[in-house]
Structure 1
Amino acid sequence: MSFIAKIYEKILMSTKPEYMDSHEKINEFLAGKEDQTPKSIFKSFNFNGMEVFQFGNRKSSDRTIIFMHGGAYVNEINYQHFLYCWLLSRKLNAYVLAPAYPLAPKHSCNETFELITDLYKEYSDDNLIMMGDSAGGGFALSFCQYLKTIDLNQPDNIVVFSPWVDISMSNDYDSSNDPILGEVGLREIGKSWAGDLDTKDYRVSPLYGDKEGLAKTLIFAGDNEIFYKDIEEYVKNAPDVRLIVGKGMFHIYPLFPMPETFTSFKEIKKGIM
């Protein structure tokens, strides 16, 4: 772990949301959560009522990326995501789309599946990559399993960072070393996002889905994060997946501006060629 990564870890630990480790706080948070329109200096367009931020130029790009942002399905896309998508567009010569999809608790996964399916169809003839971090990474994996059930082609590649692959949280967890996430908050948020679905339905927990026939997949994860055991389990039962482990690293570490991030870009370039 680099010196800069250690600094980020300490900062994140000091700002970890209280609701991640408290039943009372998470219930208060969900009860008071309102939909917010994200603001950005980057261009966007309206797609069936969903704002989609865009980075780069489709005509001059080598590939199109649909990037599903993280935030435990309750937090809006933020400037960390905007800046990372901008970097993706520059370093991979990509046209990047980052949809501000409907969030829990006012919305559940079914609405987002419909919107992203329509968006995916619009760009399915491109050299297309499904990408996402955390909850968005979990959604990307679930969505690609879902594509098989509606006879749509797989993307050319899948790249995800610390994906939330089991919202049922069925493993044994220790969140004391995770500076971002906590088991208590995740369990309640997972139920809200699932809506009428079982929390082990593949559409919300890709760990339990059919992983055969998915696109070539690249997964980044820190071995010090709460999701690490679940991600390892996912990889064991998935045929065309490469897992890159950040030793001592925390959740979604490649999205932070530090040496490990630029190493991850090199791995992404190799993985999608």
Structure 2
Amino acid sequence: MRGKKSLIAKVEEAILSFTKPDYMDSKEKVDDFLKNPSDNEPPGGIFKSRDFNGTQVFTFGDENAENTILYIHGGAFVGEINYQHLLYCFLLSRKLNAHVLAPVYPLAPSSKAMQTFDVIVELYKKLIMKNNLILMGDSAGGGFVYSFCQYLKTVNLPQPDKTITFSPWVDVSMSNSPYGSENDPILGEIGLREIGKSWAGDLDTHDYRVSPLFGDNAGLQDTLIFVGENEIFCKDIEKYVENLKNDGVNVKLVMGNGLFHIYPLFPIPEAISAFKEIKKEIIK
């Protein structure tokens, strides 16, 4: 997705820079955050959720729609699903004739990765008979999508028909330093490395269940990945794309020229182009 970055995208990026969490760039502050996390509650109001075996799940669209999307939200595994995610899920349901499910999954530091695997597996089992089942996710949720698909092979569950991710966090160990955090208006290497350790729990941060960059992708279905050229995950995602290709996976990478983390979820012109790519991928 080459071309000049829009003025609206530049303004959005400037706003994001002012709201970047201070714990992303400070070891002391991220340690304090993980010891005393802020209250995390999913939004209420106009969006309604349902109970699936004790897991709160936001749903959008008709259960009998042509497409089913299981959306795993981002937030560095410490941030709860928010209105930005829910509005995007609503858009997906309306524009893609889709039933969209967005689970409120367990988060760090109080929960660890394997607890979330257990929750998502049970939800996924309810969806595997659906036609055109698509796994989608942004940031941490995008990385989880690929770890989950790798994990499905070990528990003899079928793969989804397709995966689509925005800026997936594919290496929670953050082992490909330096990342140039000063240029990212949302994320920071220092904070992410500590959060990654918390999320992994007893797992090594190089374990594929938290860092799909180090996993086996053989047998995964077609995938579409969006990444911002200026975000700190860019080089890890490019490396993961090469891994996917080497493992025989059909992958398309869309690079947002001069853009930031999860840019397709923001109200900018470049997001419109991204959505057109998604629509082409889903509606053949």
With the shorter chain as reference, the TM-score category is: over 0.9
Q: Partner amino acid for 1:180?
A: I
Measured on the aligned residues, the alpha-carbon RMSD in Å equals 1.0
Map 1:161-200; keep pairs closer than 5 Å.
Answer: 161-172=166-177, 173-200=179-206
Percent of paired sites with the same residue: 65
What secondary structure is seen at the aligned counterpart in 2 of 1:250? coil
Which of residues 63, 68, 73 is equivalent to 2:72? 68
Q: TM-score, normalised by structure 2?
A: 0.94
Map 1:1-273; keep pairs closer than 5 Å.
Answer: 1-33=5-37, 36-40=40-44, 41-59=46-64, 61-126=65-130, 127-172=132-177, 173-238=179-244, 239-272=249-282, 273=284
Q: Following the alignment from structure 1 to structure 2, what is the Cα–Cα distance between the partners of residues 46 and 39?
A: 15
Q: Following the alignment from structure 1 to structure 2, what is the Cα–Cα distance between the partners of residues 233 and 181?
A: 19
| Structure 1 portions without partners, runs of 5+ | none
The Cα of 1:39 is off from its aligned counterpart by 2.2
User: Per-residue displacement from partner, 1:114-164 (whole Å, max 9, x unpaired)?
Assistant: 110010010111121000000000001100111111111110110000000
What secondary structure is seen at the aligned counterpart in 2 of 1:52? strand
Q: Following the alignment from structure 2 to structure 1, what is the Cα–Cα distance between the partners of residues 166 and 143?
A: 9
The Cα of 1:226 is off from its aligned counterpart by 0.4
The Cα of 1:35 is off from its aligned counterpart by 5.8
Q: Following the alignment from structure 1 to structure 2, what is the Cα–Cα distance between the partners of residues 105 and 50?
A: 18
User: Per-residue displacement from partner, 1:64-110 (whole Å, max 9, x unpaired)?
Assistant: 10100000000100010011111111111111100010000000001
What secondary structure is seen at the aligned counterpart in 1 of 2:126? helix
Q: Following the alignment from structure 2 to structure 1, what is the Cα–Cα distance between the partners of residues 161 and 279?
A: 13
Q: Following the alignment from structure 2 to structure 1, what is the Cα–Cα distance between the partners of residues 128 and 239?
A: 30
The Cα of 1:42 is off from its aligned counterpart by 1.3
For the Cα contact (< 8 Å) 2:43–2:81, is it kept in 1?
no
Q: Partner amino acid for 1:258?
A: I
Q: Partner amino acid for 1:251?
A: H
Q: Following the alignment from structure 1 to structure 2, what is the Cα–Cα distance between the partners of residues 79 and 90?
A: 16
Runs (4+) of structure 1 exceeding 6 A deviation are none
For the Cα contact (< 8 Å) 2:40–2:79, is it kept in 1?
no
| Structure 2 portions without partners, runs of 5+ | none
User: Per-residue displacement from partner, 1:140-195 (whole Å, max 9, x unpaired)?
Assistant: 11001111111111101100000000001010211111000000000000000000
What secondary structure is seen at the aligned counterpart in 2 of 1:149? coil
